[in-house]
Amino acid sequence: MLSVLGRGARLCDGVNRREFLRVGGLSLFGGMTLPRLLHATERAAPNRNPANRRGRAKAVILFNLLGGPSHMDMFDLKPNAPSEVRGEFRPISTSVPGTQICEHLPNIARLMHKACLIRSITHSYNSHDPLPIMTGWTGGNAALQAQPSDPPDIGAICQYLGMGPRDLPGAVCLPCYPGWGENSYKRGGPYGGYLGSQYDPTFGLCNPRFAREPRTNHYDPVMPIGEPYLPGLDQLPDMTVNRFDGRQTLVQQVDRAFEQTRRSPALDRLGRIQQRAFAMLTSSRTRDAFDLSKESARMRDRYGRNLYGSSLLIARRLVEAGVPFVSVHQEIFRHYGHAYDMHENNFGMLKDHNLPLLDQLYPALIEDLESRGMLDDTLVIVMGEMGRTPRINAKAGRDHWPQCGFSLLTGGGVRAGHVYGATDRQAAYPTSFPVSPANLVATFYHLLGIDPHLMVPDRLGRPIPIAHGGDPVQGVLA
């Protein structure tokens, strides 16, 4: 609930205290109630002090290929398999001798010497929720939306530990929460879960445009155009602004109100927690990170002037500012495309949309981070929640297959130019070094310098390990 301070609501010290504290309780970052977050951080035990952590990665950018990317058509082709398995694409050589990937990923192929490819991700959680890859947990009900009893994701743990600058959120989710484009169905994954909604990330908002209507609903993807943005006053409930001058920009309105409050003696009498909440709210750095007008036209074109290119460019700007965890999700928007959920037209969806998009976005992000000296301490993760069936169905599609999938890791302390794990002749099951979501997420925590066996309390106060018993995969570490 937000009430921005207007000109009329004042006490003798210049500020209506109740109005100010309502600002302090604002879920400006999409559910992260600031005072609760800050009180929880303040109560953190000394052994959870992020200043004591040691890790190669300062930040993580996760690009979630929502829907289940077809591993055997992208990073684990089987050219000698029967035609009903191998599909339509040919493998090409990469910058790593002996490693081949799909012919429609030539730009990624030339950068494979910088990446670590895991071909043996495996689990049994048959759902499009990114819950397993963001928490390591596979015990939930795949038929349910995000639940308060779900475990916290990596971003929530970053916030729980107080990681990142004090005036920025610890986690951001772009371009919106997963499932927003599907009638606001909240897919499990990027939430505080049983730690509480105060550890939810900053959720971006978006209003995508589409150049055309799909020829066939869902399986003829159309590129979403637009940029994610932060919630404004008009997106927040119970807003009162005492009719600020409508000709002023929203930023000017908010800045004026905050500046009036900053000069008030009431601020001096607030506790340290409330003062820190106010500092987070009044910081311009989060808003600056979302301001793509500060990027050159060349850089905008390099990422692509679409919703996902804009989201990943903002992700780079956020980690550059100090945000430790940013997730970008290739969302499904109504009938305009099923992202990577390719039950029909698998090869057309990949060739005409998904693979060219990924082949532009990944190199743009990796080369941008490297040119800024950020790749060594930024872990970039590209993966989906599952793979696809080895056998092609009657509609030229592939169905759900969590038994086998991939993860492409770059920077942040991973072993570059390495392929970890192998699969059988049909890419159906791992034949060596299977990696569970718990072990994968434990690896991410390890690279961030967070003990994956750290315990946090569930809703009943029971201590639960943040990686759910997983251990770091030593074979992918540099």
> Is pLDDT at 211 greater than 80 in this prediction?
yes
Judge if 255 and 394 occupy the same domain. no
DSSP-based three-state secondary structure for 136: coil
Same domain, 361 and 255: no
Percentage of the chain modeled with pLDDT above 70: 78
pLDDT band of 152, cuts 50, 70, 90: very high
Q: Are 309 and 364 in contact (CB under 8 A)?
A: yes
DSSP secondary structure string for all residues of 54-70? --S-SEEEEEE-TT---
The CATH number given to whatever domain includes residue 339 is 3.40.720.10
- State the average pLDDT over residues 93-122: 98
Residue 13 reports pLDDT greater than 50:
no
pLDDT of 4 higher than 70: no
Rounded-to-integer distance, Cα 63 and Cα 329, Å: 6
What pLDDT is attached to residue 51? 37
Minimum mean pLDDT range among 10-19, 171-180, 449-458? 10-19
The answer to whether residues 425 and 349 belong to one domain is yes
Please count the structural domains in the chain: 2
Same domain, 385 and 422: yes
Looking at the fold, whether 248 and 316 belong to one and the same domain comes out as: no
**200 lies in some domain:** yes
Is the pLDDT at 86 greater than 80? The verdict is yes
Cα-atom radius of gyration of the chain, to the nearest Å?
23
- 280 versus 146: the higher-pLDDT residue is 146
Same domain? For 259 and 162 the reply is no
Residue 109 has pLDDT above 60, yes or no: yes
What rounded mean pLDDT belongs to the chain? 85
User: Does 46 reside within a domain?
Assistant: no
pTM: 0.83
More confident residue, 34 or 331: 331
Residues 437 and 448 in one domain: yes
Amino acid at 322: G
pLDDT digits (tens, 9 = 90+) for 408-452: 999 999 999 999 999 999 999 999 999 999 999 999 999 999 999
Q: Do 339 and 470 share a structural domain? A: yes
Domain assignment present for residue 186? The answer is yes
* Co-location of 270 and 126 in the same domain: no
Task: Express each pLDDT in 312-371 by its tens digit.
Answer: 999 999 999 999 999 999 999 999 999 999 999 999 999 999 999 999 999 999 999 999
Determine, yes or no, domain membership for 44. Answer: no
Integer CA distances (angstroms), 112 to 105, 108, 201, 441, in order: 11, 6, 31, 22
Nearest residue to 386 (alpha-carbon basis) of 173, 68, 28? 68
Per the CB < 8 A criterion, the answer to whether 69 and 388 are in contact is yes
Given a cut of 60, whether residue 279 has pLDDT beyond it is no
Q: At 7, is the pLDDT very low, low, confident or very high (cuts 50, 70, 90)?
A: very low
* Residue 37 domain flag: no
- 197 and 123 inside one domain: yes
- Answer yes or no: do 220 and 145 share one domain: yes
pLDDT band of residue 49 (cuts 50, 70, 90) is very low
| Measured CA angle at 136 (ends 130, 138), to 5 deg | 75
Q: pLDDT (tens digit, 9 = 90+) per residue, 117-148?
A: 999 999 999 999 999 999 999 998 999 999 99
Residue 117 lies in a domain: yes
Quick one: which of 128, 116, 74 has its CA closest to 381?
Answer: 116
- Arithmetic mean of pLDDT, 91-119: 98
Q: Answer yes or no: is 45 within a domain.
A: no
Q: Which residue stretches of 96-170 are H helix? A: 106-109, 131-135, 154-160
Give the residue numbers spanning the domain of 274: 1-30+235-287
* 209 and 355 share one domain: yes
Q: CA-CA distance, 169 to 165, in Å (whole number)? A: 8
**What Å distances lie between residue 336 and 66, 204, 218, 225, 243, CA to CA?**
14, 20, 6, 12, 38
What is the SS3 assignment for 418? Answer: strand
Give the separation between CA 265 and CA 124, rounded to whole angstroms: 57
* CA 454 – CA 436 distance, rounded (Å): 18
Answer yes or no: is 313 within a domain.
Answer: yes
**Percent of the chain scoring above 90 in pLDDT:** 75
